[in-house]
Amino acid sequence: MLDFNGTIALDGLILPNVREKLIELHTLLNIHVLTADTNGSAARECEGLPLELHVIGKDNQREEKRRFVSQLEQGVAVIGNGVNDELMFREADLSIAVIGKEGCATGTLMSSNIVVTDIIDGLNLLIKHHRLIPTLRK
């Protein structure tokens, strides 16, 4: 489960190299993008990518994202940065916060299992999952 704006996109445009990583990740996982589509560009930007795009309403986004994640099968990983991602982070099995150009909401950051400063690093954690072991080992 990926957030769109601030996570895989900036100002409504998918960030460089993210398309290629999503295609690679799709060979391993089902990809859902969940967004309030602030810039109105998510459908156009995600067109042709192997993912399911879900646009949520402008009201109660935190709860809507949480509810969506709770309905997925076990083993859900989420990546996001916004305040509306906090509850889905708490619901997911693995949550990765991205501190990118938009920053990251403090509550979301504190609810994450892992923090990265670049979405490519976050996607690579899922693609090369052995990288998760040293970070999450107890």
Amino acid at position 98, single letter: V
Q: Which CATH class is domain 2-136?
A: alpha beta
State the average pLDDT over residues 14-21: 98
pLDDT at 74 over 90: no
Q: What pLDDT, on the 0 to 100 scale, is given for residue 117?
A: 97
- Give pLDDT tens digits for 44-57: 999 999 999 999 99
| DSSP β-ladder status, 9-10 and 13-14 | antiparallel
What is the C-alpha to C-alpha distance for residues 34 and 106, in angstroms, rounded to an integer? 20
pTM of the model: 0.95
Domains of the chain by residue range:
2-136
- Give pLDDT tens digits for 78-88: 999 999 999 99
pLDDT at 58 over 90: no
